[in-house]
Amino acid sequence: MSVLQHIEKGVVVRYGDLVGYQANQVVSMTLARTPHVNVSLFAFDAGEELSEHTSTGDAMVDVLEGKATVFIQGKPHVVHAGESIVLPAHVPHAVQAVERFKMRLTVLFG
């Protein structure tokens, strides 16, 4: 059985087209999950956020559309479409949509 979900193999896709915006919400979709990696897509309406939390794995955020502020230990980092940032494991972080934005989140577990 494939670990990939919601994505057809051998077909060109735009990740941003796979998840849609919903008013006043954060929408997520898991693309792959194993004991070592989790890949998900998120669509944030403007002003929505993921509150501060930690992860047991390093997390790579790739912004697909729009703009967000990513907080790492309270320090803000503005990230635009086409840019990425790594959230270290076990370090508090949060994500807030400056405007509507979409991201791919890849978490790697050691």
- Residue-by-residue pLDDT tens, the chain, 110 positions: 578 898 889 999 999 999 999 999 999 999 999 999 999 999 999 999 999 999 999 999 999 999 999 999 999 999 999 999 999 999 999 999 999 999 999 999 98
Q: With contact defined as beta carbons under 8 Å apart, do 97 and 81 qualify?
A: no
CA 72 to chain centre: 14
Q: For the chain, what are the domain ranges? A: 15-108
At 18 the three-state DSSP class reads helix
Superfamily of domain 15-108: Jelly Rolls (2.60.120.10)
Q: How far apart are the first and last CA of the chain?
A: 23
Measuring CA to CA, how many Å separate 26 from each of 3, 4, 41, 51, 101?
23, 22, 10, 12, 10
